[in-house]
Amino acid sequence: MFKGFIAILSILCLASVAGADESLVGQSGVPYGGPQLRPEMLYRGDLIPELGIGCSNGYGTSGGPNDIAVRVTATTTPPFCLTSTYYNMYTNVAPYITALSFVCWTAPTATAPPGTEFARQGGLPWAQGNHTAALNPPIIVANARFFFGQNQPQTNVGVRWGLDQTTGGGGHNYIKAPGCGLASWGTMESIGYSGNWCMSVSVAGPSPAELQSWGQIKSEPP
């Protein structure tokens, strides 16, 4: 039964992406109160890196594993779908690194560290610079508040992610790096930094099962 529910939600996630030649316009009085497509970007700060942070030696050949996480709260009503992620790799550690994953964790409270992992997708690019990677299939999130981030599992690699230091972290950004004495999750403030990971996710949904219930909110540009 649980697998069937996930499969249905996955279909709705995939159906929620509008075509390139279409746009969504608002309209009052949508028949039957049908849901609308609600794209949303979730991130902290300004996504501009001033510093690279991660457990690493100077050559990037040791220091892992590293995990980083950002606590966010969506305004879109769950369940919704995460369709892509944007992030900054501050250092280029190729060819040593061979694995980088996008990960989601629960957020038990508004102040607690990351809880249970509930989603993971590997194969993320790790070259130095900014990246946008599609999450395929889209990841289904059941609660408005959750953590997302990345995992670099190797001990023979050290990674440094871009950190925005101009907007303050507010206790929402976490790191776990056993090789540098952080066996459990700690905030950036707990290790002497205040900042936000330069990382975001795109949210879409929910998508209605019947397009007719949208009313006339779909239109083609002139």
Query: Is residue 28 situated within a structural domain?
Result: no
Q: Across 54-181, where does the E strand assignment appear?
A: 66-73, 80-89, 101-106, 117-121, 129-141, 145-152, 161-164, 173-177
Whole-number pLDDT of residue 38: 55
Q: pTM for the full model?
A: 0.78
Whether the ω angle into residue 79 lies within 30 degrees of 0, i.e. cis, is yes
* Mean pLDDT computed over 143-148: 97
The pLDDT tens digits for 36-80 are 445 799 999 999 999 999 998 888 889 999 999 999 999 999 999
In the structure, what pLDDT confidence band is assigned to residue 15 with cuts at 50, 70 and 90?
very low
Strands 161-164 and 196-197: antiparallel
Residue 24 lies in a domain: no
Report the alpha-carbon distance of residue 103 to residue 92 in Å, rounded: 21
Q: Average pLDDT of 97-117?
A: 96
Number of domains in the chain: 1
Domain extent for 112: 2-17+37-208
Tell me the CA distances in angstroms from 212 to 60, 99, 208, one per residue in order.
54, 43, 9
- For 149-194, write each residue's pLDDT tens digit: 999 999 999 999 999 999 888 899 999 999 999 999 999 999 999 8
Q: Is residue 137 part of a domain?
A: yes
Structure-model confidence comparison of residues 104 and 215, the more confident one: 104
- DSSP letter (8 states) at residue 26: -
With CA atoms as reference, report the closest residue to 60 among 97, 89, 87, 88. 97
Domain membership of residue 104 (yes or no) is yes
In a domain, 118, yes or no: yes
Tokens 């599992």 found at: 153
pLDDT of residue 168: 85
Q: pLDDT at position 28, please?
A: 36
The reply to whether 26 falls in a domain is: no
d(CA 140, CA 38): 15
Q: Residue 22: is its pLDDT beyond 70?
A: no
Asked if pLDDT for residue 205 goes beyond 70, the answer is: yes
